[in-house]
């Protein structure tokens, strides 16, 4: 079934000269909108109308979005389903819903995204943190003893999702995060401030500004799509920053660079952990080994797909306790 065109607030207003708007079947039960200066649209009817316009979207998204616009909970919406909705709130909701129906990530509409149980601000300057990346975070935490005073470096921090969570979960660690994008760093700094996370931020091109043999744990979720990847034109990714997604013609250019630079900046026994695409496990392991790192392996995500590859700087020393 073809998706209907998204409902815009303008389209909605243009529809007002009709005495009734009735929708049936797929779009929900009959919806009647009264004409006149006082248009009374009930919360439950607005939600049915919205769901009918975005049948390809998660069933609950319209509820989450309306709850956000009204600064209420979804439970409140259910309890007030028969309340009339204010014009201003209806207009705001319809504008946002139209953007969502066009494919814009939900997180950009509401300006926040939860990652590892914490709310992060997001703007179109940063990649929307993905649940997949929690695999990299957990692998990093597993290599950091709770009271370890290790130096942890998050290269390409975006919203700060990884660095902030490492800093909060391992308060003895010294966490530094970098990004090439000044706009992304502003978002990350704000998130660290809001969550009271002790992270030092630096604007840098990968690890070029980092001293040799100074990092115990290097983590990165770098761009890893090739420049001709068709997904770049699909929903969601088309709205996210290209500099957070694309790594040259092969998709591996940043991974290769991080392996080489990682070998230089890691202390003896230190780890490099990289997120990558689920078809890039073998290539990433080859890059890690070619850089001279040892104990190379790939971890799988919850769907059993290759997701994170890691390796260690050769040598016997373990990370120093506090
Ligand atoms: C895939 S995003 C990951 C963001 C965040 N770490 C996360 O997991 O949600 C990659 C990030 O790397 C940054 N980046 C890309 N090229 C870079 C470079 N040469 N040096 C530093 N950061 C870079 C991008 O700006 C972007 O924020």
Section 171-179 average pLDDT: 98
Which domain covers residue 63, as residue numbers?
A: 9-102
Segment 238-267 shows an average pLDDT of: 96
- Please state, in angstroms and rounded to a whole number, the distance separating the CA atoms of residues 220 and 206: 10
Least confident of 27-36, 94-103, 143-152, 273-282: 27-36
**% of the chain exceeding 70 in pLDDT:** 86
Domain-ending residue, one of 43, 69, 102: 102
What is the total count of domains within the chain? 2
In a domain, 194, yes or no: yes
Strand runs labelled E in 191-265: 199-203, 215-220
Contact 275, 136 (CB under 8 A): yes
Query: Ligand 1: which atom is nearest the Cα of residue 129?
Result: 9
pLDDT value for 315: 87
Give me the pLDDT at residue 1, please: 32
Give the list of residues 6+ apart from residue 291 with CB closer than 8 angstroms, or none.
Answer: 259, 260, 262, 263, 311
pLDDT tens-place string over residues 2-33: 333 333 333 333 333 222 233 333 333 333 33
Q: Which of 201, 132, 216, 129 is nearest to 170 (CA)?
A: 216
**Is residue 107 within 6 Å of ligand 1 at its C-beta?**
no
pLDDT value for 56: 82
Above 70 in pLDDT, residue 173?
yes
Q: Is 205 in the pocket of ligand 1 (CB under 6 A)?
A: yes
The answer to whether residue 107 sits within a structural domain is no
Q: How does residue 39 score in pLDDT terms, banded at 50, 70 and 90?
A: low
Rounded to the nearest whole angstrom, what is the distance from the C-alpha of residue 154 to the centroid of ligand 1? 9
Q: Same structural domain for residues 43 and 179?
A: no
User: Is residue 300 domain-shared with residue 152, that is, in the same domain?
Assistant: yes
Same domain, 213 and 307: yes
Sign of CA pseudo-dihedral 179, 180, 181, 185: positive
Beta-strand runs (E) in the chain: 112-115, 118-121, 151-155, 174-179, 199-203, 215-220, 266-275, 294-300, 306-312
pLDDT above 60: residue 141: yes
What lies within 8 Å, CB to CB, of 44 at 6+ separation is 81, 82
Indicate whether residue 165 lines ligand 1 (CB < 6 A).
no
Residue 312: is its pLDDT beyond 50? yes
Q: Is 184 in the pocket of ligand 1 (CB under 6 A)?
A: yes
Last residue of a domain, one of 102, 137, 154: 102
CATH code at 56?
Answer: 1.10.8
Distance CA 90, CA 83 (A): 12
Q: What is the mean pLDDT of the chain?
A: 87
Q: What is the pTM of this model?
A: 0.86
* Contact present, 210 and 153 (Cβ < 8 Å): yes
CATH number, domain with residue 130: 3.40.50.150
Do 170 and 81 fall within a single domain? no
Distance CA 184, CA 170 (A): 23
Taking residues 120-134, what's their average pLDDT? 97
> What pLDDT was estimated at residue 4?
35
In tens, the pLDDT along 295-309 reads: 999 999 989 999 999
Q: Calculate how far, in angstroms, residue 302's C-alpha sits from the geometric centre of ligand 1.
A: 23
Atom of ligand 1 nearest to the CA of 181: 25
Four-CA torsion 137, 142, 143, 148, nearest 10 degrees: 100
Q: Is the CB of 186 under 6 A from ligand 1?
A: no
DSSP-assigned letter for residue 38: S
132 and 61 belong to one structural domain: no
Task: Tell how far the Cα of 255 is from the centroid of ligand 1, in angstroms.
Answer: 11
Indicate if 297 and 243 belong to the same structural domain. Answer: yes
Confidence of residue 233 (pLDDT cuts 50, 70, 90): confident
The DSSP symbol for 113 reads: E
Residue 34 has pLDDT above 60, yes or no: no
Cβ-in-10-Å burial (0-12, 13-18, 19+) of 276 comes to buried
pLDDT category, 246, cuts 50, 70, 90?
very high
Distance in angstroms (rounded) separating the CA atoms of residues 154 and 176: 6
Nearest CA among 218, 215, 225 for reference residue 136: 218
């Amino acid at each position: 079934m073809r998706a209907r065109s998204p409902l815009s607030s303008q389209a909605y207003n243009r529809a007002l000269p009709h005495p009734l708007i009735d929708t049936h079947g797929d779009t929900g039960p009959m919806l009647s909108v009264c004409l006149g200066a006082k248009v009374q649209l009930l919360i439950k009817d607005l939600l049915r109308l919205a769901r009918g316009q975005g049948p390809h979207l998660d069933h609950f998204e319209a509820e989450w979005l309306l709850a956000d616009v009204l600064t209420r909970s979804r439970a409140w919406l259910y309890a007030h389903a028969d309340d009339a909705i204010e014009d201003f709130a209806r207009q705001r909701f319809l504008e946002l819903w139209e953007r969502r129906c066009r494919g814009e990530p939900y997180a950009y509409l509401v300006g926040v995204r939860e990652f590892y149980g914490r709310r992060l601000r997001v703007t179109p300057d940063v990649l929307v943190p993905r649940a997949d990346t929690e695999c990299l975070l957990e692998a990093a935490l597993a290599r950091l003893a709770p009271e370890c005073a290790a130096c942890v470096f998050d290269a390409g921090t975006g919203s700060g999702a990884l660095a902030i969570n490492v800093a909060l979960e391992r308060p003895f660690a010294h966490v530094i995060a970098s990004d090439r994008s000044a706009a992304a760093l502003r978002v990350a700094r704000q998130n660290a401030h809001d969550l009271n996370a002790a992270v030092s931020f630096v604007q840098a091109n990968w690890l070029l500004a980092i001293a040799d043999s100074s990092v115990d744990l290097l983590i990165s979720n770098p761009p890893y799509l090739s420049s001709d990847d068709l997904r770049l034109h699909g929903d969601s990714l088309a709205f996210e920053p290209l500099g957070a997604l694309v790594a040259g013609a092969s998709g591996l250019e940043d991974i290769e660079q991080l392996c080489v630079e990682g070998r230089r900046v890691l202390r003896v026994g230190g780890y490099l952990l990289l997120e990558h695409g689920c078809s890039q496990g073998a290539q990433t392991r080859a890059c890690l080994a070619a850089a001279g790192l040892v104990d190379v392996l790939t971890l799988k995500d919850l769907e059993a797909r290759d997701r994170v590859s890691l390796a260690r700087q050769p040598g016997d020393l373990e990370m120093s306790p506090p």
